[in-house]
Amino acid sequence: MQTYHNTVSGKQTEAADHQEIFNPATGDSLGLAPLNSQHDVNVAVEAARMAQGAWARVSDQERREIVANVAQVLEENSEYLAGLVTQEQGKPLSGPGSRFEMQACVGWTKVPSSLELLPETVYEDDTRKDVLYRYPLGVVAAIAPWNWPLMIAIWQIIPAIRMGNTVVLKPSEYTPIATLEMVRLINQVLPPGVLNTVSGDGRIGAVLTSHPDINKIMFTGSESTGRRIIEASSQNLAPITLELGGNDAAIIMPGTEAAAISEGLFWGAFLNAGQTCACIKRLYVHENDYDAVVTALSDVASQVPIGDGMVESNLIGPLQNAMQYNKVKELVADARANGCDVMEFGDVPSTGYFLPLTLVGNARDGQRLVDEEQFGPALPIIRYSSLDDATASANRLSDALGASVWANSLEQAETIASKLEAGTVWVNQHGAIHPMVPFGGNKASGYGVEFGMEGLKGVTQSRVISIKK
Q: What is the pLDDT of residues 370-408, one digit of tens each?
A: 999 999 999 999 999 999 999 999 999 999 999 999 999
Residue 1: band (very low, low, confident or very high) from pLDDT cuts 50, 70, 90? confident
Number of C-beta neighbours around residue 134 at 10 A: 18
Backbone angles phi, psi at 210, to 5 degrees: -95, 0
How does DSSP classify residue 278?
T
Per the DSSP assignment, residues forming a β-bridge with 143 are: 170, 219
pLDDT on residue 245: 84
Helix segments in 141-189, DSSP class H = 149-162, 176-186
Give the separation between CA 387 and CA 9, rounded to whole angstroms.
56
Residue 65 predicted with pLDDT over 90: yes
* Fold of the domain built from segment(s) 6-244+445-468: Aldehyde Dehydrogenase; Chain A, domain 1 (3.40.605)
CB burial string 436-446: b at 16+ within 10 A, e below: eebbbbbbbbb
Q: How many CA atoms lie within 13 A of 294 on its CB side?
A: 20
Q: What distances in angstroms separate CA 69 from CA 76, 187, 388, one per listed residue?
A: 11, 11, 50
Count Cβ atoms within 10 A of the Cβ of residue 119 and give its class: 0-12 exposed, 13-18 middle, 19 or more buried: exposed
Note if 454 is an active site residue. no
DSSP 3-state of 376: coil
Residue 94: band (very low, low, confident or very high) from pLDDT cuts 50, 70, 90? very high
Mean confidence (pLDDT) of the chain: 97
Give the separation between CA 323 and CA 320, rounded to whole angstroms.
9
How does DSSP classify residue 253?
P
Average pLDDT over residues 202-211: 96
Q: Do domains 6-244+445-468 and 248-434 have the same CATH topology?
A: no
pLDDT on residue 250: 98
Residue 96 predicted with pLDDT over 90: yes
Give the separation between CA 211 and CA 402, rounded to whole angstroms.
32
pLDDT on residue 298: 98
Number of C-beta neighbours around residue 384 at 10 A: 21
* Fold of the domain built from segment(s) 248-434: Aldehyde Dehydrogenase; Chain A, domain 2 (3.40.309)
How does DSSP classify residue 302?
T
Give the separation between CA 220 and CA 31, rounded to whole angstroms.
25
The proportion of the chain whose per-residue pLDDT surpasses 70, expressed as a percent, equals: 100
Considering the candidates 243, 279, 340, 450, report the single residue annotated as catalytic: 243
Q: Where are the domains of the chain?
A: 6-244+445-468, 248-434
First-to-final CA distance of the chain:
69
Q: What distances in angstroms separate CA 38 from CA 16, 171, 212, 434, one per listed residue?
A: 12, 16, 13, 37
Per the DSSP assignment, residues forming a β-bridge with 198 are: none
Q: What distances in angstroms separate CA 34 from CA 30, 153, 202, one per listed residue?
A: 13, 18, 14
Considering the candidates 105, 277, 279, 340, report the single residue annotated as catalytic: 277
Note if 373 is an active site residue. no
Residue 161 predicted with pLDDT over 90: yes
Cα-trace Rg, the chain: 23
pLDDT tens per residue across span 250-272:
999 999 999 999 999 999 999 99
pLDDT tens per residue across span 104-140:
999 999 999 999 999 999 999 999 999 999 999 999 9
